[in-house]
Amino acid sequence: MVVGVGLNVNVKAFPNEISHPATSLALELGEEISREEVLISCLRRLELRLAQIGSDFEDLLEAWSARCVLNGNNVRLDVGGITRTGRVAGVSPQGELLLQTATGIEKILQANAIRISD
């Protein structure tokens, strides 16, 4: 499994072309944060969630669904160089993103980029 995560911790300004929706923990909390503490916290949570993949996948999916800001939103996804658009309808029992499109539900296992669209 490969997981890629980009997290802006103490960034205080972004170039104009990405200044919205880009943000950072420092901008959101109003103070700088220890990057080491953020990393340790993320790794601890990742370790807990990885353990659920083999033993408690249903609870993992339920926790993900409860926190997912994509649910119910219109999105644009880059899937292998092809753009897909639709409304996120949730996640399948196998962990695939369910994308409601004009032609029905598509199951998306991997996307290079996901953007909430208007």
- At 50-86, the pLDDT tens digits run 888 878 888 888 888 888 889 999 999 998 889 999 9
Dist. CA 11–CA 27, nearest whole Å: 7
Q: What is the mean pLDDT of residues 80-93?
A: 91
Q: Percentage of residues in the chain with pLDDT exceeding 90?
A: 45
Q: How many C-beta atoms surround the C-beta of residue 98 within 10 A?
A: 16
Position 2 scores a pLDDT of 56
- Domains of the chain and any CATH numbers: 1-55 (no CATH), 70-118 (2.30.30.100)
Q: What is the pTM of this model?
A: 0.65
| Across 29-42, average pLDDT | 95
Q: Are 97 and 107 in contact (CB under 8 A)?
A: yes
User: What is the rounded average pLDDT of the residues 30-49?
Assistant: 93
What is the pLDDT at residue 101?
94
pLDDT computed for residue 26 by the predictor:
95
pLDDT exceeds 60 at position 24: yes
Q: Taking Cα atoms as reference points, which of 101, 112, 52 lies closest to residue 79?
A: 112
Using the predicted structure, report yes or no on whether residue 16 has a pLDDT greater than 80: yes
- Which pLDDT score is estimated for 118? 72
pLDDT band at 3 (very low <50, low <70, confident <90, very high): low
